Amino acid sequence: MDDLEGKVAVVTGAASGIGLGLAQAFAEEGMKLVLADIDDGYLETARASLAEAGAEVLAVRTDVADAKALDNLRDSTFERFGTAHVLCNNAGIGARSPLVEPLEISAWDRVFGVDLYSILHGLNAFLPRMLEQGEGHIVNTSSRQGLVATPDLGPYPPAKHASVALTEMLRAELAALGTAVSTSVLTPGGVVTRQLSEAMRRVERGELDDPNIREFITSRVADAVASIDVGRLVVRAIRGDRLYVNTHRETLTWLRERLDRIEADADALGTLR
């Protein structure tokens, strides 16, 4: 989609962080906005600031882990605007949970519900309408942890890996249909978010005992990019119909190092073909 002006964008997890940056970037393009988030207070603040800047905005409180809530989001969107052109399945959470310690399965269920199953709920709710109208773009927010996993992050990297694979599969299936509906996967590195800022404040207050965690958070803050710049990158991806959206070149280095490790093991073990 080259011309985004007047089109409708739906963004989950839109009250802050990357979601708000996406909404701000879409507003710059003259798009109408539907903001979804579970936090009423931050959601209203985001709606008011975007409306004050001149955007036409609808805010819908949404628990993305609930399929019925996504159906309600769709119905509210079509009732207000009659259509949806861009869907950003962006909401996400994390939960530190080392695999060598007893696992809290309920925490894994919650992370997978928000980070992965919410994408499925979004597809069920919006994709049929997009296919019917013959136009649309779906952006699924993963993470660079969806490409190369870091230890001690529990369910987060597995859920994000799954969202990358899901988007790649969806892209191929849409192409096979010959439809103008397409998709992208956003795999951001460090981004200035409320959660990252709070984590850094905990480091500064000396509340984190693990030096590896302190070092990780500090490095993330040092190379973090602005969320609105991530949003503008996504706009370029939609216009150019690009599948992979990366914020940091470092991620590509990680991927090459991963491939080197895979190749080294193949060389050491041999392959069957």
| Short-list 144, 162, 160, CA closest to 219 | 144
Query: Which of 42, 117, 156, 244 is the catalytic position?
Result: 156
Rounded CA Rg of the chain: 19
In the annotation, is 42 catalytic? no
What φ, ψ does residue 243 adopt, rounded to 5°?
-80, -50
Bridge partners of residue 59, in order along the sequence: 35
Q: Which residues are catalytic?
A: 156
